[in-house]
């Protein structure tokens, strides 16, 4: 008979996600992971695979959380311009919060996106997905005449996401609201 796992996989993945988000892939050792989760190396490996697979699982979990946050925000029924202004204001406030570790997707892109094709593909899929959600909302705003249709919705979406992720990067250096 197979033994029951004595730990919560979702909670463990949450802990691992926090650790990787804070220290990155290279800055997180297996020893760090076992100390942070309280699990043995064999339990981590048996459940999630090696450190790289664990990193990928943590990144996928974060991607799902970030995607859901964007989806909820974009589902708010209000004109797009004030909604985007609110989104940027809340993003800045969240990024400047003392307990915020920043965006795991941004951190992963900076650390591994240019040298690991699997991680780069995951990140591209994530950013394409978020861009598509935002482009849909932008297309509706263009159709309603709320914003000019001088650029394609996907072009505008990528430009706005560039701003979002640039803010996430800049708050690492500029730590006040100004």
DSSP string, 77-146: -S-HHHHHHHHHHHHHHHHHSTT----HHHHHHHHTTTT-HHHHHHHHHHHHHHHHHHHHHHHHHHHTTS
Average pLDDT over all residues of the chain: 89
Is pLDDT of 2 > 60?
no
Q: Whole-prediction pTM value?
A: 0.87
Instruction: Give pLDDT, residue 169.
Output: 82
pLDDT in tens, 114-146: 899 999 999 999 999 999 999 999 999 999 999
The answer to whether 80 and 146 have CB atoms below 8 angstroms apart is yes
Name the one residue in this structure whose structure tokens are 């990140």.
Answer: 123
Is pLDDT of 98 > 70?
no
User: How does residue 62 score in pLDDT terms, banded at 50, 70 and 90?
Assistant: very high
Q: How many CB atoms lie within 10 A of CB 103?
A: 22
- Rounded CA-CA distance 23/39 in Å is 19
């Amino acid at each position: 008979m197979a033994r029951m796992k004595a730990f919560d996989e979702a909670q463990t993945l949450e802990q691992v996600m926090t650790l990787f988000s804070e220290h990155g892939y290279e800055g997180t050792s297996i020893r760090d992971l076992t100390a942070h989760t309280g699990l043995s190396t064999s339990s981590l490996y048996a459940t999630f695979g090696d450190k790289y697979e664990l990193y990928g699982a943590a990144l996928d979990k974060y991607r799902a959380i970030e995607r859901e946050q964007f989806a909820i925000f974009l589902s708010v029924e209000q004109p797009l311009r004030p909604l985007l202004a609110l989104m940027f204001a809340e993003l800045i406030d969240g990024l400047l919060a003392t307990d915020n570790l920043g965006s795991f997707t941004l951190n992963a892109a900076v650390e591994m996106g240019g040298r690991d094709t699997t991680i780069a593909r995951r990140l591209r899929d994530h950013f394409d997905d978020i861009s598509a959600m935002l482009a849909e909302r932008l297309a509706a705003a263009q159709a309603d005449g709320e914003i000019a249709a001088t650029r394609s919705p996907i072009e505008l979406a990528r430009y706005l996401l560039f701003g979002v992720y640039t803010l996430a990067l800049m708050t690492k250096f500029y730590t006040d609201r100004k």
